[in-house]
Amino acid sequence: MKVLKFGGTSVGTVESLKNVKRIVEGCDEQVIVVVSALGGITDKLINTAQLASQGDISYLQNYEQIVERHNNVIQGIVPSEKQSDVHSITDPLLDELGNIYRGVALIKDLSTRTLDIIVSYGERISSVIISRVINDAIHLDSRDFIKTESQFNKHIADIELTESLIHTTFDNFNGKVVVVPGFISSDKKSGDITNLGRGGSDYTASIIAAALDASVLEIWTDVDGFMTADPRVISSAYVIDHLTFIEAMELCNFGAKVVYPPTIYPVFHKNIPILIKNTFNSEAPGTRICESTPGLEGKAIKGISSINDTCLITLTGFGMVGVIGINSRIFNALAHNGVSVFLVSQASSEHNTSFAVKNCDADIAVSVLKDEFAIELGTGEISGIEPERDLATVAIVGENMKHTPGIAGKLFNTLGRNGVNVIACAQGASETNISFVIKLDSLRKALNVIHDSFFLSQTQVLNLFIAGIGNVGRDLLEQIKGQQENLLKNKSLELKVVGIANSRNCIFNGDGLDINDFKSELEKSAIIATPEAIKNEILKMNIFNSVFVDCTASPDIAAIYADLLENNVNVVAANKIAASSKYDNYNKLKQIASKKGVKFLFETNVGAGLPIINTINNLINSGDKILKIEAVLSGTLNYIFNVISKDIHLSDAIKMAQKEGYSEPDPRIDLSGKDVIRKLVILARESGYIVEQSDVKRNLFIPQEYFEGTVDEFMQKISKLDAEFEAKRDKAQQENKHFRFVAQLVNGEVSVGLTEVSPGHPFYSLEGSNNVILITTERYKEYPMEIKGYGAGAEVTAAGVFADIINIANIR
């Protein structure tokens, strides 16, 4: 024999009831069917009662809707030959309900006892209807055998009496199907109608299954089973195949609403498995809950659940230290006043004790404890009893955690790196559950990052905010678009662009923007792309695994890095300004990133997509020391020096570099050596030297006065140098030498300047816009390490930015 429970939307419509009929009649053994009220009816019953008690005449309309809803279901699902029989039972019940509502409206009072009677009509009527839908089914009233007693103003099942009455009722039953109403019960002394509380139909089914030693308890609902997390918050949540009773209990107690928590206890003691199934997808395997799951292999964490209705109450005082019985007094006082505590956290010094309750219980809990500890509060032994509201409690659950060292460390490190502050935490010695309290506004981020980090998600997600969609930003978006499917399929990495800003407007969407079609939305956006607005929108989204990607050259955008890093947003910068700014600012950004456990990456600041900074970091981290760096770091200048000839003058070459997209928007940044100076300063700092831009010695090839004025004025004046520069070029050519603009770091001294190099020098044959860097270290003294390749261009720079983004995901 097995027990099947149907509730919620699975008994909400004619179509869903057809599924119930098919499922029950398809069983090949004796079945007890426990049903709840038609979907949504219980809330409607309560709401109507409240309206009536307030004298609001609209309760009559609500009541008529309740009657109509039941009559429509009867007409739609009950065979015509049985409809009169059903109406002979349900019509008087609905009439009784109407009379009660009118009485409540008349006296404008709604007692607990009256409300218990009102809500009972949902299950009483639905069970009659369903018993006439299923072939060969009989109907029994659970009030006759589910008995309760009152404890702390709540109806608690008297299990011993109830089990005895269940045996009396069912032991001699020889039919195939019995339908009983869930949820409702009666007081063992007075016989008054009571109920088992929210979700009580699950509990009814469990009590019956345990009493009759059923083979299985099947709970049919509108989801495929227990999910790894709330799918409304985490779109990648998926069904858990197996749970132990303990895991299921922990998940239920902390907010997972698939099963009413007390349901598990009765069947656990009889080792009767629970099967969670979907009435609307009966072929899905569902979730099986039993004493043990198949093997210990697999993920350490099975699921995450949360309670978003949390108040943390903390008792503090030196008078608590070493005093026996303090906790006993706290929890006895709360229990006697019906306050349920679902998390306790205490410092080992015993100086304070914190516990979590629902917000609705907070005021009474504080009042009760102030009464209990009035003497200690008066003497100062207890200094305060303080509630903190607007919190959430999160639990990660899995019996395999006890076999996996470091789970707690990884959990809190993951939360910290994403800026989620843990206010209180608790873990039992069984290591099945780690629970913690956080701010309510951090709940969504916390759930997502835990799900992502512990591989409960099938994919890892990076949420990208991209500022600047000029050449580099545009190419980056194209590269992301081209690689999204491959990264998702082969590396389980989902790149989600959640923010885009150009020089005018910006758009944001936490669910992701369509990078195939964002331009029109961007142009229409009402959000002006000021640095402050961009920063505020990013922080307001408070999204997990977030990465700010700066593809601008704006000092104002670079100025928001510190605030972003402080709020646990990773920063990837193609923009050189921050890393080459004052050393104190550079060092501050590095320190914030280290402290917050996020990344500040700027590989493309030097050499575009070449792995220069990463190589230097690897050398230093492995114990090497950078002694000397010689480099051609300007793809623009190298391109200019490579194309200059008798027929192509300096001014022509500069224009060609602009046209080919090698130069900065303002070519003077390259030609003045400013860009190379920035790059050299960055390399020196990454090599361990404290260097400012002002420390760099300059040997420039264009006089300073040429850089004054506008870009257009510069382009008009530069041709005046063509003849002079051609003479220098011709002389160098006759000596078989090439011009190179070289940056040098030698024992902490830095310089840049135009240099003539001879054949055989590594810089001599450098082609096009390529960069080359020679790194001399204590290990690479005789033969310096050489890195050479494209050092300019939007495509390779975008690729370098993309590589930094992938670096944040830590995939290989």
Quickly tell me which residue has 């016989």 as its tokens: 191
* CA gap 403, 423 in Å, rounded: 26
Rounded to 10 deg, the angle between the 159-170 and 200-211 helix axes is 70
483 and 501 Cβ atoms separated by less than 8 Å: no
End-to-end CA distance of the chain: 53
Q: How many CB atoms lie within 10 A of CB 3?
A: 29
769 and 635 Cβ atoms separated by less than 8 Å: yes
Quickly tell me which residue has 């009483």 as its tokens: 124
* CA gap 73, 270 in Å, rounded: 37
Residues in the chain: 812
Conformation bin of residue 623: beta by default, left when phi > 0, alpha when psi is -120 to 50:
left
What one-character DSSP code corresponds to residue 227?
Answer: B
Q: How many CB atoms lie within 10 A of CB 779?
A: 12
- Pair type for strands 424-427 and 433-439: antiparallel
* CA gap 276, 282 in Å, rounded: 10
* CA gap 473, 499 in Å, rounded: 12
- Strands of 506-508's sheet in order across: 506-508, 493-501, 460-467, 546-550, 570-573, 600-601
Q: Which pair of structure tokens corresponds to residue 699?
A: 């040997």
3-state DSSP: the chain helix, strand, coil percent, rounded to 5?
45, 20, 35
Q: Which pair of structure tokens corresponds to residue 338?
A: 């019906």
Query: What are the DSSP E strand ranges found in 711-796?
Result: 738-746, 749-757, 770-777, 785-790
Give residues with Cβ within 8 angstroms of 651, minimum separation 6. Answer: 715, 718, 719, 721, 722
Rounded to 10 deg, the angle between the 59-77 and 41-53 helix axes is 160
537 and 499 Cβ atoms separated by less than 8 Å: yes
The pair phi, psi for residue 498, each rounded to 5°, is -110, -5
* CA-based nearest residue to 804, from 547, 518, 536, 440: 547
* CA-based nearest residue to 248, from 211, 275, 212: 275
Q: Which pair of structure tokens corresponds to residue 297?
A: 């292999």
Quickly tell me which residue has 């790196």 as its tokens: 417
The yes-or-no answer on residue 519 being catalytic is: no
Residue 181 burial (10 A CB sphere; 0-12, 13-18, 19+): buried
Query: What are the DSSP E strand ranges found in 502-540?
Result: 506-508
* CA-based nearest residue to 239, from 258, 265, 260: 258
Quickly tell me which residue has 């004619």 as its tokens: 14
* CA gap 705, 321 in Å, rounded: 76
Give residues with Cβ within 8 angstroms of 293, minimum separation 6. Answer: 242, 243, 244, 399
Which contiguous run of DSSP H or E holds residue 566? helix 561-566
Give residues with Cβ within 8 angstroms of 262, minimum separation 6. Answer: 196, 203, 206
Choose the catalytic residue: 5, 277, 679, 788. Answer: 679
Residue 199 burial (10 A CB sphere; 0-12, 13-18, 19+): buried
Catalytic residues, by residue number, are 679
